[in-house]
Chain A
Amino acid sequence: MIAVQDPAVELSSAPEPEPAGHRWTRVVKGIQTGDPAAMAEMYEVFTTGIRFYLCRQLGPQDLDDRVHEAFLTITQSIRRGDIREPERLMGYVRTVVRRLVATQIEAVVLQRQRQLDPSLSLAVRDSNPNPERLALERERSKVAFRVLRSLPSRDREVLVRFYLKEQSPAQICRDLGLTATQFRVTKSRAKLRFGKIGRAHMAFCRGAQPEA
């Protein structure tokens, strides 16, 4: 782990926060002894992250139920003493949530196999996306298309190989005679352009909306 550290860390004169490992051990012990404050702390810390993970993997449908199921599973297994390293609570939560996702996907695949309908796709995520989200996706795709069309052909080739063909940076650099820096610059330039054109495009769309 990784590059950037918040300047707040260096500037802060506040006392050191509780080390994460100690905190998780305390929370786990609290849950095992039925302390409601420990339960509340676990909910407070992990709810948004679990929602994010589940939504990203399975889509927004039934999200509240799934988050609830995740917490139930985590709490029950902590109480049973399944967690061997309480200081690794984050890893444990991730593993439990990942298993829930895998189970959910398996269930959908099985259900669709039983239906024996070849016309059904295997996409598990969000089988019924909302129109607003679809419209936003379309707008973003238009912007990305404009970005790609506006680039020199070699840059466009780099991006098509990377994002569509999923070729590795090493292979792209080798095939197109680029250095790693040139590859990174090409990508970051496109991303900047995407942001710039995207903002202008959205501003134009907002301006073109009729008054309510």
Chain B
Amino acid sequence: MRVKEVAALRHYGTEDCEHYALGILPKRKMERLEEHLLICERCRNRVAEYDQYVAAMRRAALKVRKGK
């Protein structure tokens, strides 16, 4: 995609990306975000970062809960 077009995109915030990673984004918003992710590298990177973070926090929280 051309640079000018990328710059013209409006990006999603951290909270939406985190909620998407958690699978709790409301359906309509999730659809719009997924469409946006098709063409926006910056938001893909942000979602990927939150995917990793959420997965790590879940595993760690489980460990804390088990009292290890």
Interface residues of A (CB under 8 A from B): 1-6, 8-9, 12, 14, 17-18, 44-46, 48-50, 52-53, 56, 90-91, 93-94, 98, 137, 140-141, 143-145, 147-149, 156, 159-160, 163-164, 166, 168, 184, 187-188, 190-191, 194
Contacts and interface: CB of A to CB of B under 8 A. Distances in A.
Contacts of B31: 91, 94
Contact of B34 (A53, A141, A164): A53
Given A137-B55, A144-B60, A164 B37 contact: no
Give chain B's interface residue range (CB within 8 Å of chain A): 35 or more
A167 B22 CA distance: 11
Q: Which of A1, A46, A93 has the most CB of B within 10 A?
A: A1
Contacts of B5: 17-18
B13 A2 contact: yes
Contacts of B12: 1-3
Given A17-B5, A49-B40, A91-B31, 13 more contacts: A2-B10, A4-B10, A4-B11, A49-B38, A52-B37, A94-B38, A140-B53, A143-B56, A144-B57, A160-B65, A163-B22, A164-B65, A166-B22
